[in-house]
Structure 1
Amino acid sequence: MATPHSRSSVRFEPRRVLPITGAVLAGAVVLIVGLTAVIGGFDKTAGGEVGVVRNGGWFDNNRVRQVISPASGLTWTGTYSTTHRYPAQQRFYTITSDTKRGDRTGVDVVNTPSSDGVEMGIEGTIYFTLNLDPDTLKVFDTKFGTRQFRGVDGELRYAYDGDEGWSTFLDAIVRPVIDNDLRIQINSFRCAELVSSCALVQNGAQRTGTPAPANPDTGGQTNNTNIAKVQEAVNSSLPKDLAEMLGGTFFEGIKFNLARVTLPQTVQDAVNKAQAAYAQVSEAQARVAQAKAEAEANKTRQQGYDACSACAQIDIIKALPPGVTTYAPGAGATVPLK
């Protein structure tokens, strides 16, 4: 018969299990973190974007590591690195009074004076492409991708924060250069040289009692030529000014399309009144010409009646209303009409 001391037994000792469990959990956490870091170290770009990768490891610096070309395959970018994505295709920036089309919310028009002091509204679109040269992109990201810009809505955004971030960057950095170029070019023309109807108001203000012509020549063809000159001048100066102000040739294929030149509402109201006045003058002159023509016709007709008294009676009979059966010219004479 076995004694209690001779039986074999397995004892459960929790002090030994806890260290093993902790080691397993710690190893699992390290493995998950490692796998996450490795998997997150790969990145790629879509067809319309380019990526500028910056180091971001625990013991690494934050310098630019590499540039990922548009529509790339899966690319190793290093653990904990960050990718700043910028548009790689042609983009445009629209300045317009149409609240649904502009890059800024609400009405957005560049207001600048002409050489004769008339405030004019300029609407247009600038087309451009970001320079995709890797070295240029690295400089661009260092200058503009490492700080935030405040939008017209008061929010701070990075240039790589999607379309809103890109538009905010353009508003803060590129828009002032556009405004300055337009101001310089518009200031070299008089109002009437760009908007023909402006001559209606200015001519009226300069006249001293001299009647206005019924159909003033406002030089529409000349205006179109001058607007084309403004557009060409901006296309010539804007790339240079952007490169100088931004500190590098960061944009290519820059082209400005001047869509419309408008007048302030007060000036436009005056133009509308002047056009209405010219219309009234034209109408009055037409009535005068008609009266003169009728007087000449009556004079010629009377001369004919003097030479042929019977002709006068014939015209009178023709002018009688329908239904009259007898015509009595006077002195007891009657003429049956039927």
Structure 2
Amino acid sequence: MRFRSWKSRVGIVLLVPLGIYLIILGFSSLGSFDRTNGGEVAVVRNGGPLDNHRIRQIIQPASGRVWVGLYSDVHKYPAQQRFYTITANEGQGDRPDQEVVRVPSKDGVEMGIEGTLYFSLNTDPDVLRTFDDKFGTRKFRLLSDGDAYAPYDGDKGWSAFLDTIIRPVIDNDLREQINTFDCAQLVSSCALVQLGANQTVNPVGAGTPPVGSTESSNGNIAAVQKAINESLARDLEATLGAPFLVDLKFNLVRITLPAQVQEAVNKAQAAFAGVSEAQARVAQARADAEANTIRQSGYAACPACAAIDELKAIPPNVTTFAPGAGFAISQP
């Protein structure tokens, strides 16, 4: 009897941890399934206590629920088109502060470049495995809060990766392309400041601002944009080590001048406007003088015409007109 009681107690002692283990295993199994949404792709790494940490599978976008293994790590990356914005408007770009890319033109004028880079992550399984090995195992610091994130840690992690790895390549490409043009070739109003600095005379006329070629500046901006699109794909692949980003397109939105240069441009434009206004008054006076000369010649040839025009010029509120010599006209 005592022997049976002892065996029962031993059985209970063994069954309790076994039951607890089975319960934990059951919950773990429930968490060993995962899926992706339409806009994300996943890299699954082994993560069990007795397992290695190699990549075991790739889950393509919009998948059903699949088995990923016990305690595996699932790294989810964006699979749809993304963009990186550089703008001076605070809160609208990918950095928390007001920022633009500051690069010098060929003639040394610092110019602010604003634009947006559109791209997609290469979801080819082999390329994605390499990407996760190279960047998914690291963390990058986000400027807005100073914390470090992995690229798969949601929007913050992706932004930290772009700002740390991609932004320097964009800056370098913009610097190389902008440095091949003078300021006036990209921003036509630069010619106003350069005219004053060179003390040259405008052949069009003293009151006419120098004619910057708007079509030429627009064409140069388009050339810069095209060159950046061609060089970015090449430079990013060389920098990252593989074509991790595809469908690259950079839109150059705006080129701005430093505050002091823009102020000088505004003053030059105001000065040209004042000169033009004065020239208009001179031209009007000259035209009035010529008209009076012609009119006087006509009156000399036709004295009656002069009298008729004089009568027509009487204001309607005048009832009596007495030009002198005993002559007067009164309205009835």
Contact 2:117 2:248 (C-alpha < 8 Å) held by counterparts: yes
Per the alignment, residue 219 of structure 1 pairs with: 213
Structure 2: unaligned runs, 5 residues or longer: none
Greater radius of gyration (CA): 1
Q: Does 1:329 align with 2:306?
A: no
Query: Which range moved further: 61-70 or 210-219?
Result: 210-219
TM alignment of 1:87-106, pairs within 5 A? 87-106=78-97
1:136-191 Cα shifts (integer Å, max 9, x gaps): 11111111111110111211111000011101100000010011001100010111
Contact 2:207 2:273 (C-alpha < 8 Å) held by counterparts: no
Per the alignment, residue 186 of structure 2 pairs with: 194
Per the alignment, residue 33 of structure 2 pairs with: 42
Per the alignment, residue 177 of structure 1 pairs with: 169
Deviation (angstroms), 1:74:
2.1
1:243 to 234, 237, 246: 237
Per the alignment, residue 54 of structure 1 pairs with: 45
Query: How many residues in Structure 1 have an aligned counterpart in Structure 2?
Result: 328
User: Normalising to structure 1: TM-score of the pair?
Assistant: 0.90
1:179-234 Cα shifts (integer Å, max 9, x gaps): 10011000101111111111111112212577744243111111110011001101
Q: In 1, Cα distance between the equivalents of 2:33 and 2:316?
A: 101
The amino acid that maps onto 1:156 is A
Query: Which range moved further: 303-312 or 47-56?
Result: 303-312
TM alignment of 1:8-87, pairs within 5 A? 19-87=10-78
Q: In 2, Cα distance between the equivalents of 1:79 and 1:325?
A: 111
TM alignment of 1:159-170, pairs within 5 A? 159-170=151-162
The amino acid that maps onto 2:112 is G
The amino acid that maps onto 2:118 is Y
1:16-58 Cα shifts (integer Å, max 9, x gaps): 7764443332112111222233333222211111111111111
Per the alignment, residue 138 of structure 1 pairs with: 129
Deviation (angstroms), 1:128:
1.0
2:285 to 280, 291, 311: 291
Contact 1:149 1:159 (C-alpha < 8 Å) held by counterparts: yes
Q: In 1, Cα distance between the equivalents of 2:72 and 2:323?
A: 114
The amino acid that maps onto 1:262 is T
SS at match of 1:102: coil
Contact 1:231 1:258 (C-alpha < 8 Å) held by counterparts: yes
Q: In 1, Cα distance between the equivalents of 2:159 and 2:25?
A: 37
User: Normalising to structure 2: TM-score of the pair?
Assistant: 0.92
SS at match of 2:254: strand
SS at match of 1:98: coil
SS at match of 2:51: coil
Q: Flag the 1:53–1:331 CA change in 2: closer, same or farther, 3 A.
A: same
Deviation (angstroms), 1:271:
1.4
The amino acid that maps onto 2:251 is N
Q: In 2, Cα distance between the equivalents of 1:273 and 1:18?
A: 98
1:111 to 102, 105, 111: 102
Deviation (angstroms), 1:321:
2.3
Contact 1:115 1:191 (C-alpha < 8 Å) held by counterparts: yes
SS at match of 1:218: coil
Contact 1:92 1:127 (C-alpha < 8 Å) held by counterparts: yes
Query: Which range moved further: 201-210 or 165-174?
Result: 201-210
Q: In 1, Cα distance between the equivalents of 2:320 and 2:34?
A: 108
Q: In 2, Cα distance between the equivalents of 1:22 and 1:283?
A: 103
1:149 to 120, 140, 146: 140
Q: Flag the 1:72–1:158 CA change in 2: closer, same or farther, 3 A.
A: same
Q: In 1, Cα distance between the equivalents of 2:200 and 2:217?
A: 26
SS at match of 1:182: helix
Q: In 1, Cα distance between the equivalents of 2:282 and 2:115?
A: 46
Per the alignment, residue 257 of structure 1 pairs with: 251
Q: In 2, Cα distance between the equivalents of 1:323 and 1:115?
A: 69
SS at match of 1:120: strand
Per the alignment, residue 4 of structure 1 pairs with: none
Q: Flag the 1:52–1:323 CA change in 2: closer, same or farther, 3 A.
A: closer
Structure 1: unaligned runs, 5 residues or longer: 1-9
Deviation (angstroms), 1:81:
0.9
Contact 1:204 1:212 (C-alpha < 8 Å) held by counterparts: no
Contact 1:148 1:156 (C-alpha < 8 Å) held by counterparts: yes
